[in-house]
Amino acid sequence: MDLDIEFKKLIDNCSFIFYATTFEGQFLYLNNFGKELLGITEKEIKNGINVANYYVSPEDREDLLQQLELKNISDNLEIRLLDKNGKIFTGHEHSLVYPDEAEGDIILSLVNDISEFVSLNLNSAKLNLELADANQKLKDAYNTMAQQEKMAAIGELAAGVAHEINNPLGFIKSNTRSMTKYLKMLTSVFKEILKNPDLEKIENTGEMDFVLSDLKDILKENEDGLNRIAVITESLKRVARMGDENVKSDFDLNQAIMDTLNIAKSQYKYIAEIKLDLGEIPLVPCNGNSINQVLLNLIVNASHAIESLESKEKGEILIETSLQNSLIKFSITDSGPGVDPAIKNKIFDPFFTTKEVGKGTGLGLSLCYDIIVQKHQGRIWVENCDKGGAQFTFTIPMYKV
């Protein structure tokens, strides 16, 4: 095959493979770059060495021939060739069928080196897989710690709830002992009456008057105590109900606030007075289990903020709800020290905490952010009050998202 001298000079000085072969694969021409890369000599070309010997996969050559038979041209076909050192050279092959008077139809091919590009892609893919794996491990660690945070909060609340239930149980138990004693006395009197139906006078009637009066008070106390226990347990059942965190249903936010205050009473009752300004708001479509977690975290955080002042006087926690256009708004304001402006933008970051080591994981507000923003497409933010203290506010849309 004869090539124009100027064209041959140009091709021989290019950094890509250019060659001509018969359809059977016999080399007719190979430029200098190709000779150097593949380790082929001019003598081997004259002896009829076959290009198929250098394809890593015979299917690559077969794909090329099929495309050329269909449309006389093949573009950007990825092939792999073996270089002179036995290493794989990856390239994009561009070929066409060229009619030659001496040889008949021949194949002219140009192969660009994309080995580095492929290597970079492979490395990038590997890094992406490693990054995805690391990200998944981080998510798993976060979810594990978040679950531990919830369990720790539940454990702390359980102790408080047990204390709140123990108080009425204590006087119910004491009252029951008194009732047992009084019943014995009354039983003795009734037996005397049965033995002496004509008995005109019963001794110690003054003591009987006291017993009957005290029994009335005891029964009223027991009823109040049992009602208190019922309120706590019903609140606990509503707040602690389990379910799919992705399922949203109509939720009574005001009732949830009251329930959370009932079960978290031990956290704030010696620290702060609770003031409520709960507006007339409709049921909101959300995941109640998750919102309960937010309410609990914010109420407990508010009490901890006030406690940090170490004041002898009780602080104040104001909880408000309202409907603003298509948004349900909740805010909780405490009389604590407020939020340092230097950390205001970090306060919802995972693992960020102002508490001492061992006093918390730093996931409480991060969980609140995830639940409100990520799961309910709402907003949550914090502001310092003019008179001191901090106000945490969140809004969630009235429509299902």
- Which residue pairs from 236-239 have beta carbons closer than 8 angstroms and sit at least 24 positions apart in sequence? 236/161, 236/262, 236/263, 238/292, 239/263, 239/292, 239/296
Residue 75, pLDDT > 50, answer yes
Superfamily of domain 244-401: Histidine kinase-like ATPase, C-terminal domain (3.30.565.10)
pLDDT of 294 over the 60 cut: yes
What mean pLDDT comes out for the span 32-52?
88
Beta strands in 206-337 (DSSP E): 249-251, 272-278, 284-286, 315-324, 327-334
CATH for 5-113?
3.30.450.20
**What average pLDDT does the segment 40-54 reach?**
88
CB atoms within 10 A of CB 226: 13
pLDDT exceeds 60 at position 207: yes
Q: What's the confidence (pLDDT) of residue 194? A: 72
Cα(28)–Cα(107) distance, integer angstroms: 9
- Compute how many other C-beta atoms are within 10 angstroms of the C-beta atom of residue 164: 21
Taking residues 361-388, what's their average pLDDT? 85
Of 80, 40, 38, 77, nearest to 56 by C-alpha is 80
Alpha carbons 379 and 157: distance in angstroms, whole number: 27
Strand order in the sheet with 315-324: 272-278, 315-324, 327-334, 390-397, 379-384
Query: How high is the pLDDT of residue 160?
Result: 67
Beta bridge partners, 289, equal none
Which segment of 38-47, 53-62, 119-128 scores lowest on mean pLDDT? 119-128
383 within 8 A of 391, measured Cβ to Cβ: yes
pLDDT of residue 361: 46
The whole-angstrom separation of Cα 233 and Cα 239 is 10
CB-neighbour burial class of residue 196 (10 A; exposed 0-12, middle 13-18, buried 19+): exposed
Does 73 score more than 90 pLDDT?
no
